[in-house]
Structure 1
């Protein structure tokens, strides 16, 4: 009977484990295989070595996608964390109606990136959105047409992304702030330290693990920005707001270049791994010390 009790959980979890192994890691391996083949419209297992990767890095569009990912990632992560910290500090002052304000800040995180992108597309559309509203109110010289400017459209993606994720960062930082012992802050106040100095010298350094965790989560989201970009700009104007995810989709499903798309997906996987693996390593390494 005891052996059955030990075996039952394994039997229940086995189908999910096998399916996950096949449909996640199996397809990762298959994608890697396709990236070194001559596949075009359909899989073609003729081995071509690193030819697809050479073609990939010879394309101007790929370099635009990489530059956009770097720019979006730095601004999205940096601004989301900065706003998150400021909002968390504000709420940590025990302001009135804190629960209501916190709910408002957190609400955008309940939306999908598709909804966020669609909503901000309406807001930033020069013909129907913010620009038209301000001009109808009398500010006829007001212009905000970044969405249709190839050199500014990526910043529209940043605005939409930060709007959605700043509340999430705030929740993480607020949880960290509420975990700090109040006696430390009171002792610093007795010593004559001002509140800004207390936060800068004592509180924020104590939130280093929260900063690291938030950075990892937001950096991971910035690489997987396909749905936000597609809903907001569809990679346009032209391919000015392409990111590796939209590039991969265009190559694989619009241009019939499966091998090239697989190569770009492999580069994305390597980028995600470069972010996640050090985080997992640090977490696993710290557990024996915690015990």
Structure 2
């Protein structure tokens, strides 16, 4: 074998050899642990892993749990309101910045700043803001509005909406950036032609520009839905699932069952359902993206 042939083979195999350990470890710690979690969900595991196969018993217990049903209800409320308001606010801010207003760069930075924070920081900050003894209610009382009340954080019926407020504040800037990128990709000649035909600017946006952003709407919906299903750190920092378990979501339910209540099998079952839900959202999106890229 000549030296040039050996050099070519080395150049071909060296990247694979270098990447092989990372690939193997990633496969084991991601897909291996997913498979292990799946098996724990059909086992008799409680405080410690127990590999006795019990079939779908953990899932039956899960769907009979009142706390799990509350978590699903909260996830539905949070997802609908979080996704809806984040998209509306983000689109409004994007349309506002698309008017080539002054200080656009400064405003864009301000709107995007919350996304630079972690959900832990966001949850902690809004916990202070909405605390009746420290935040908005206390401030209004000091200003003389003694009858003002804003105790959603400690109200079991309203606490989930405080999570929505914090989540929208965190993500609206990110949604704005996605829509603004889509708006800047639209040919300005289309807008000028519509204006020549006598169409007003609001009508142009409602009838022409916004409908052309369907791919951006779809991508944004997928990202926000993924964030909503995985909402753990925001809930834990803001309400810790309380009062009681009034703001539990599947992610916090899984953590509580697996690590605080010694119900590993039950926690694994809830985690498996969350994984299936995320896969049901992400897989069709990836399929559509790959299919469009091949055309």
TM-score for the superposition, normalised by structure 2: 0.97
- Whether 1:128 and 2:134 are equivalent positions in the alignment is yes
Structure 2 unmatched ranges of 5 or more: 1-6
Q: 1:278 aligns with which of 264, 269, 284?
A: 284
CA distance in structure 2 between the partners assigned to 1:181 and 1:63 by the alignment: 48
Aligned to 2:152: 146
**Displacement after TM superposition at 1:2 (Å):** 1.4
2:193 to 177, 184, 187: 187
**Equivalent residue for 2:266?**
260
Give runs of aligned pairs for residues 5-84 of structure 1, distance below 5 A: 5-84=11-90
Residue 117 of structure 1 pairs with residue 123 of structure 2? yes
Runs of 4+ aligned structure 1 residues displaced above 4 Å come to none
SS at match of 2:90: helix
Helix, strand or coil at the partner of 1:207: helix
Q: Counterpart of 2:193 in 1: which secondary structure? A: helix
Q: Tell me, what secondary structure is at the counterpart of 2:34?
A: helix
| Equivalent position SS for 2:235 | helix
Quote the Cα distance in structure 2 between the aligned partners of 1:13 and 1:212: 34
Q: CA deviation at 1:15?
A: 1.5
Give yes or no for the alignment of 1:245 onto 2:236: no
- Find out whether 1:203 has 2:186 as its counterpart: no
Aligned-pair CA distance for 1:4: 1.1
Structure 1: gaps (5+ residues)? none
Shift of 1:140: 1.0
- Confirm whether residue 222 of structure 1 aligns to residue 201 of structure 2: no
The alpha-carbon deviation at position 14 of structure 1 amounts to 1.2
Quote how far apart the aligned CAs of 1:7 are: 1.1
TM-score (norm 1): 0.99
Distance of 1:78 and 1:2 partners within structure 2: 55
> Aligned partners of 1:12, 1:122: CA distance in 2, in Å?
48
Residues of 1 paired with 2:261 and 2:173: CA distance? 38
User: What are the equivalent positions in structure 2 for 1:94-109 lying under 5 Å apart?
Assistant: 94-109=100-115
CA distance in 2, matches of 1:151, 1:23: 39
**Counterpart-to-counterpart distance in 2, 1:6 and 1:204:** 48
- The root-mean-square deviation of aligned C-alpha atoms, in Å, is 0.6
Other structure's SS at 1:193 match: coil
Q: Give, in angstroms, the shift of residue 227 of structure 1.
A: 0.2
Distance (Å, rounded) in 2 between the aligned partners of 1:51 and 1:145: 40
Q: How many residues align?
A: 289
Deviations 1:119-153 (A, max 9, x none): 00000000011100011011111110000000100
- Listed one character per residue, the Cα deviations across residues 211-242 of structure 1 (whole Å, up to 9, x for unaligned) are 11111011000111100000000000000000
Q: C-alpha distance in 1, partners of 2:17/2:217?
A: 39
Q: Please report how far the alpha carbon of residue 287 of structure 1 lies from its aligned counterpart in structure 2 after TM superposition.
A: 1.2
Match of 2:97 in 1: 91
C-alpha distance in structure 2 between counterparts of 1:172 and 1:129, whole Å: 32
